[in-house]
A and B are shown apart, each in its own frame.
Chain A
Amino acid sequence: MNFRTLGAATLAVFLAVMTQRPALAAGDEVVIGDLDDMSGVYADVMGAGGIESIKMAIADFGGTVLGKKITLLTADHQNKPDIGASKFREWADQNGLNMLLGGSNTGVNIAMEKVGAVKKVPLFHIGPGGASLTNEDCTAYSIHYVYDTTSLANGTATAIVNSGAKTWFYLTADYAFGTQLQSAASKVVEAHGGKNVGAVRVPLGTADFSSFLLQAQGSGAQVLGLANAGTDFSNSLKAANEFGVTKTMKPAALLAFISDIHSLGLKTAQGLYLTTAWYWDLNPETRAFAKRYFAKMNREPTMDQAGAYSATLTYLKAVKAVGTTDSDKVMAELKKMKISDMFTRSGYIRADGAMIHDMYVMQVKSPQESKYSWDYYKLVKTMNGEEAFGPITGLCPLAPKK
């Protein structure tokens, strides 16, 4: 290539990049972004259903805020931290992004959070579990909305240890979320007088869990702690049934969604303890939302999809209250306001970014107990927000320990 063609090529690329920039007069619309797993193992947990519930929230809010149109950008991060971070940066730089939500993958969310802090764009974590997002990885612009590993472990592990099953073996998804979930559960188990016998770290997206289940069975533990999620969770529980592991060990779902239970069927999942932030059949408000959602998606919403609806509304309410999309002012308002909608009746966002709200310990019904379609859970215990999410640890510089 000679210098002239090199120059021409550079110019062409430059022009292409320049013309791609949208003609955006800053601030003539309010831009919300949803970056999530749209095609992988977590796609049914948020995915297309999450987009739908965000759209419902925007429509319910009236489609505009402060006289500006609300627009929604969506993209698939494919569970890759680099894609999540670069897309977030692109939207912030080129599309005038005002708020981002989604994630569903602790690894990706940690990467996105760093971008949010630099670009000063509020990030509502929907779906990632890792409690580090409000501890050592916390930033001034992030809010952990639906659940975290601490609250999941506090719910399920406490209920099972108190029922008398004291020794635990873990099947752990081998990335940030799985290891954090395992360590959170281990702490709860020990705190209640139980014992952690062992664990095996399984690569994300493993199809065959039988080897690992044999190891679990060999440990002699009473409880099989499933520190994984989505398809990994379903496949591991299915295999645990097939190998008769569930006859000698009590399975504990440290994170399970209603979509997983639906896939597995009640025959396989019955009796399972799990912790959820939201269930469609809790009260008249949740049922009303679920009914509208079902009409569009032909499925009941997961807690993440309901959470995405609530997070969108909460953000828009905060923007309306302060009369600007200025991130610092909106964040200050978010940490002051009370959150009350069909997702939670008494939620609030703590200084470290954790949204504190009730969590529910559920047990999966048997096929005989289930009276109508999607009638899957019975309520074992309601934990209030403080009990579920525990005290501020002091690991996040924004929230010193009291």
Chain B
Amino acid sequence: MSEIFGIPVAVILGQLTLGLVNGSFYALLSLGLAVIFGLMGVVNFAHGAFYTLGAFAALLGLQYFGINYWAALLLAPLAVGIVGIIVERLFLRHLYRLDPLYGLLLTFGLALIVEGSLHQVFGASGESYPVPDSLAGVLNLHFMFLPLYRAWVIVASVVVCFGTWFVIERTSLGATLRAATENAPLLQAFGVNVPILKAATYGGGVALAALAGVLASPVVLVNSHMGTSLVIVVFAVVVIGGMGSILGAIVTGLALGVIEGFTKVIYPEASNIVVFIIMALVLMIRPAGLFGKE
């Protein structure tokens, strides 16, 4: 077996694949954050909590209503999206005129409340969500055995990510959304209901987080703090990609998953800080992020 820098090629390919799986989650989550920040100017610290809520919605739906995985994939983001819209209508919309810091504080507080309540009710150790039978197998990639479910995660998230990018950057709906950030009063003068548009944007953004939560639930234990550590990494991804840049969030998410994967082979102890080291470097060299506009 040939080697690169003393590491067998099979290992490198294996880690590349696993990195893509993690990168898929980063991409989906940072995409939602980027959409919310880019179109609304809200730094949504509750993103991790919505991700956790998505996973819990799937778990409880299965336990109490027998809702299967495929239905949960649709219903959980829908339910969480509606919660998001309620949050926007009740709280967030009052803060648009103020400094973005207020939105950050509000969403941070919301995250603490949601995670604290889940912890209170379900405890810390969490529960297992079974892998759906149709995705239970293992793929033989010759350099490694990849559980079919993980392959599905990559495919699903790449499709959703680029679908979202296409809607926002290439359709008239997306153009209207972007116009709402550029000049809301003018858009309103054209007869577009901007407040509803903003509520829907926030709902859509957190629904993406919930979708990531449902996708993650068969992979990790569903517990109250599953989103806490993840959201910090995802913020770093968004900062590296450029705040508000949608393509930046997707590409950086996938790339950082892969870089993290390699760190796990070369120097595992650093695998949970490598993203932040890159963030610091990017902030020094390109403060607006890799894909951000200066």
Residue positions of A touching B, CB distance < 8 A: 39-45, 47, 174, 200-203, 205-208, 210-212, 214-215, 218, 230-231, 234-235, 238-239, 242-244, 259-260, 262-265, 268, 299
Q: Are B271 and A203 in contact (CB under 8 A)?
A: yes
Per-residue interface assignment for chain B, residues 112 to 124, with 1 indicating a CB less than 8 Å from any chain A CB and 0 otherwise: 0000100100011
By a CB distance below 8 angstroms, the chain A residues around B127 are 263
Cα distance A394–B138 when bound, in Å? 51
Q: Are A42 and B124 in contact (CB under 8 A)?
A: yes
By a CB distance below 8 angstroms, the chain B residues around A243 are 138, 145, 147
Residue positions of B touching A, CB distance < 8 A: 8, 11, 14-15, 18-19, 21-22, 116, 119, 123-128, 131, 138, 144-145, 147, 149-150, 219-221, 223, 225-226, 229-230, 261, 264-265, 268-269, 271-272
Q: Are B223 and A214 in contact (CB under 8 A)?
A: no
By a CB distance below 8 angstroms, the chain A residues around B226 are 207
Partner among B18, B223, B225 whose Cβ is within 8 Å of the Cβ of A211: B18
Q: Are A265 and B128 in contact (CB under 8 A)?
A: yes
Partner among A206, A214, A268 whose Cβ is within 8 Å of the Cβ of B272: A206
Q: Are A238 and B22 in contact (CB under 8 A)?
A: no
By a CB distance below 8 angstroms, the chain A residues around B145 are 243-244
Partner among A202, A210, A259, A264 whose Cβ is within 8 Å of the Cβ of B268: A202
By a CB distance below 8 angstroms, the chain A residues around B126 are 231, 234, 263
Cα distance A260–B261 when bound, in Å? 26
User: Which 9 A-B residue pairings sit nearest by Cβ, starting from the closest?
Assistant: A43-B124, A211-B264, A44-B125, A203-B272, A44-B124, A263-B125, A44-B123, A210-B18, A242-B147
By a CB distance below 8 angstroms, the chain B residues around A202 are 268, 271
Q: Are B125 and A211 in contact (CB under 8 A)?
A: no
User: A39-B119, A44-B123, A242-B149 are known contacts. Are A263 and B220 too (CB-CB below 8 A)?
Assistant: no
By a CB distance below 8 angstroms, the chain B residues around A244 are 138, 145, 147
Q: Are A231 and B271 in contact (CB under 8 A)?
A: no
Cα distance A260–B149 when bound, in Å? 23
Our count of residue pairs bridging A and B at CB distance below 8 angstroms stands at 107
By a CB distance below 8 angstroms, the chain A residues around B14 are 214
Partner among A174, A218, A268 whose Cβ is within 8 Å of the Cβ of B269: A174
CB distance from A301 to the nearest CB of B (A): 13
Q: Are A214 and B11 in contact (CB under 8 A)?
A: yes
Q: Are B269 and A207 in contact (CB under 8 A)?
A: no
User: A44-B123, A207-B229 are known contacts. Are A238 and B272 too (CB-CB below 8 A)?
Assistant: no
By a CB distance below 8 angstroms, the chain A residues around B147 are 242-244
Q: Are A40 and B225 in contact (CB under 8 A)?
A: yes
Partner among A47, A203, A207, A263 whose Cβ is within 8 Å of the Cβ of B128: A263
Q: Are B268 and A207 in contact (CB under 8 A)?
A: no
Cα distance A243–B264 when bound, in Å? 17
CB distance from B111 to the nearest CB of A (A): 13
Cα distance A260–B127 when bound, in Å? 9
Q: Are A206 and B15 in contact (CB under 8 A)?
A: no
CB distance from A195 to the nearest CB of B (A): 22
By a CB distance below 8 angstroms, the chain B residues around A259 are 123, 125
Cα distance A64–B242 when bound, in Å? 61
CB distance from B231 to the nearest CB of A (A): 12
Q: Are B124 and A238 in contact (CB under 8 A)?
A: no
Cα distance A325–B269 when bound, in Å? 44
Cα distance A172–B268 when bound, in Å? 11
Cα distance A263–B220 when bound, in Å? 11
CB distance from A207 to the nearest CB of B (A): 5
With A174-B268, A208-B21 given, name 12 new contacts (CB 8 A).
A47-B124, A174-B269, A201-B268, A201-B269, A206-B271, A211-B18, A211-B271, A215-B11, A230-B125, A238-B220, A263-B126, A263-B128
By a CB distance below 8 angstroms, the chain A residues around B123 are 43-44, 47, 259, 299
By a CB distance below 8 angstroms, the chain B residues around A210 are 18, 21, 150
CB distance from B43 to the nearest CB of A (A): 23
User: A203-B272, A207-B229, A238-B221 are known contacts. Are A231 and B124 too (CB-CB below 8 A)?
Assistant: yes
User: A43-B119, A207-B220, A212-B264 are known contacts. Are A242 and B131 too (CB-CB below 8 A)?
Assistant: yes
